[in-house]
Amino acid sequence: MDIAVIGAGYVGLVTGVCLSDLGNQVTCIDINEEKVAMLKRGESPIYEEGLTELLQKNIQRGNLDFTTQYREGLANKRVIYIAVDTPQLEDGSANLTYINKATASIAEHLDHDAIIVTKSTVPMGTNEYIKERMESLLTHDITIKIASNPEFLRQGSAVYDTFNGDRIVIGSDDEEAMRVLTEINEGFNLPIVQTDLRSAEMIKYASNAFLATKISFINEIANLSEKTGANIQHVAKGMGMDKRIGSAFLNAGIGYGGSCFPKDTNALLSIGEQVNYSMPILKNTVYTNERQKGIIVDKMLERFDSLEGKKIAILGVAFKPNTDDMREAPSILITKRLLEEGANLRAYDPVATVNAKTILSEEIEFTTSVDEAVKGADVAVILTEWEDIKHYPLEKYKQHLSHPILFDGRNCFTVDEVKGQGVEYHSIGRPTIQ
């Protein structure tokens, strides 16, 4: 199948690369010239395991190419995926500016019938809006059909998820669009849910909102466990063994971040407001998450009289492991608050340093190893559970920190592991080890 993908970001690039790997002929179109130049050279602008290999393999076998030019990229393409960003506006609603621009560019350059597929996360009714808007802007006498195919990949395991996800959702009110999209997706050999456009759009928002709620819920239970002498690790294990609950997303920590959960929960709340329907559960999911991000700083302020002049090693800044994405990472709020309290910060992240330097304060010194960050610091704080941070031996904290005090925002160690190691250990929802 001849396919164009508009937007070569986390979703568009992974989608384009994986579709080309299935044997489709794919052209990715992006307005970012630097990104396209890198991709043409076979270099991935994002960090995702296995992506570079598949990118290079499919460029070499002639199944995948990149361009900034819509006319060239759309030529002969039967299916056109839209995977541009839909960030959050100040009022919390989804910003459709990039969707509008991509729609207008397709309408201007498309000269043959095509199926337009929206991968971007968009509010209910947006696919219909895209079709209407595009039809009003078309410069040729052609027919477009529309489908929604929301994306469920997780950053950090995006390629794996594309081939091994739980389901693929295809929404369309058009028989041919549904048939063609089903045919393309059968290549992934995953369960397919066929539905209407608006339900497909809602499935994406509802799934993210539910997962965000699960995280906020377990974080509330963690904080309450701490105050009542329970251990969240045991509580979550006991809860998760109930199949109706499931063990995924029951890891207590410093809250969710990233490019999806924060904006998608806010967008859904905003959609509710637009139709005059309040969503108190979701509203409090967002509230609890904001509170949770600050909890590690609150703990430090409780432990020390003041953080003024304290040398703090920040371990991990990406919003989660295995990604270089810093969007809405809890480290943004946490480092800001620590600096306001007068602390000196030395940070380490194995992959996100380049992005972090553009987002976090210039006052933060970045190092290239956990050792370097920890040596000479007064206290260490784990914000992202990268493998090398998770497996950094406890005795090294004892060796390198001026006072062996560790604040673990991701519960990387069990309480039993820490006992008797000579490290003062503060974590989330579990007893403190002195």
The count of residues in the chain is 434
Are 81 and 119 in contact by the 8 Å Cβ rule? The answer is yes
35 is in an annotated binding site: yes
Cβ at position 209, least distance to ligand NAD in Å: 13
| Positions in 96-115 near ligand NAD (CB under 6 A) | 98, 101-102, 105
Q: Is 405 in the site for ligand NAD (CB under 6 A)?
A: no
User: What H or E segment, with its residue span, contains residue 2?
Assistant: strand 2-6
Pairing of strands 79-82, 114-118: parallel
Beta carbon of residue 208, minimum distance to ligand NAD (angstroms, whole number): 8
Is 71 within 8 Å of 140 (Cβ atoms)?
Answer: no
Per the annotation, does 252 bind a ligand?
yes
Which residues 6-45 are close enough to bind ligand NAD by CB under 6 A?
Answer: 6-12, 29-32, 35
CA distance 366 to 63: 40
Cβ contact 3:26 at 8 Å? yes
- Would you count residue 121 as binding ligand NAD (CB under 6 A)? yes
- Locate 62 and state its tokens: 């002639």
**Is 327 among the annotated ligand-binding positions?**
yes
311 assigned to a ligand binding site: no
- Residue 80, interface with ligand NAD (CB under 6 A)? no
The residue within the footprint of ligand NAD, chosen from 153, 181, 211, 345 (CB under 6 A), is 153
Number of residues that bind ligand NAD (CB under 6 A): 28
First to last CA, the chain: 62
> If binding is defined by CB under 6 A, does position 151 make contact with ligand NAD?
yes
**Catalytic positions:** 260
Asked if 168 touches ligand NAD (CB under 6 A), the answer is no
Contacts of 283 (CB under 8 A, 6+ apart): 269
Q: Which is nearer to ligand NAD, 93 or 155 (CB)?
A: 155
Question: Does 86 count as an annotated binding residue?
Answer: yes
Q: What is the largest CA-CA distance in the chain?
A: 76
The annotation status of 68 as a binding-site residue, yes or no, is: no
Judged by beta carbon, residue 107 or residue 254, the one nearer ligand NAD is 107
Q: Give the C-alpha distances (Å, rounded to integers) separating 169 from 46, 77, 149.
A: 25, 22, 6
Q: Which is nearer to ligand NAD, 157 or 421 (CB)?
A: 157
- Asked if 211 is part of the footprint of ligand NAD (rule: CB under 6 A), the reply reads no
Q: Report whether 263 belongs to an annotated binding site.
A: yes
Q: Which is nearer to ligand NAD, 117 or 295 (CB)?
A: 117
> Which is closer to ligand NAD, CB of 154 or CB of 396?
154
Question: What single DSSP character describes residue 8?
Answer: -
Site string for ligand NAD, 259-298 (x = CB under 6 A): xx--------------------------------------
The Cα 162–Cα 305 span in angstroms is: 49
The beta-carbon contacts of 300-304 under 8 Å, at least 24 apart in sequence, are: 300/338, 300/379, 300/381, 300/407, 301/341, 303/405, 303/426
Helix segments in 22-125, DSSP class H: 33-40, 51-60, 70-74, 97-109
Q: Which residue ranges make up the site for ligand NAD (CB under 6 A)?
A: 6-12, 29-32, 35, 83-86, 98, 101-102, 105, 119-121, 151, 153, 155, 259-260
